[in-house]
Amino acid sequence: MNAIEKFEVTGMTCNHCVMKVEKAIKAIDGVKSASVDLNLKQAVVEYDSSKADTVKIVSTIEKSGYQGKKI
Ligand code: 9UX
């Protein structure tokens, strides 16, 4: 099934941070799109819920060096 979820992403201070997080999320199998906003501290991710899940997305944000939380 298609899923769209929002995540709070804290710790990003510049647009290069944004690109790092977006690239990491987009590399997850099943992710169709990822849009990260620096000012809103938010990531909106569209994914196939049979392949990816919110835990995987949060752990990927954390591995990129930031703090992620499903909202
Ligand atoms: Mo910008 Mo972000 O120089 O980890 S890339 S602060």
pLDDT tens sequence for the chain (71 residues): 999 999 999 999 999 999 999 999 999 999 999 999 999 999 999 999 999 999 999 999 999 999 999 99
Is the C-beta atom of 38 inside 6 A of ligand 1?
no
In this predicted structure, what is the pLDDT of residue 67?
98
How far does the centroid of ligand 1 lie from the alpha carbon of residue 20, in Å?
Answer: 9
Q: Is 17 in the pocket of ligand 1 (CB under 6 A)?
A: yes
Q: Determine whether 29 is exposed, middle or buried from the number of CB atoms within 10 Å of its CB (0-12, 13-18, 19+).
A: exposed
pLDDT of res. 22: 98
Domain boundaries, the chain: 2-70
Q: Tell me, what's the pLDDT at 43?
A: 98
Please give the biggest Cα pair distance in the chain: 33
Residue with the two structure tokens 């997305």: 57
Closest C-alpha to ligand 1, atom 2: 17
2-70 CATH: 3.30.70.100
CA of residue 38 to ligand 1 center, whole Å: 11
- Residue-level pLDDT at 51: 98
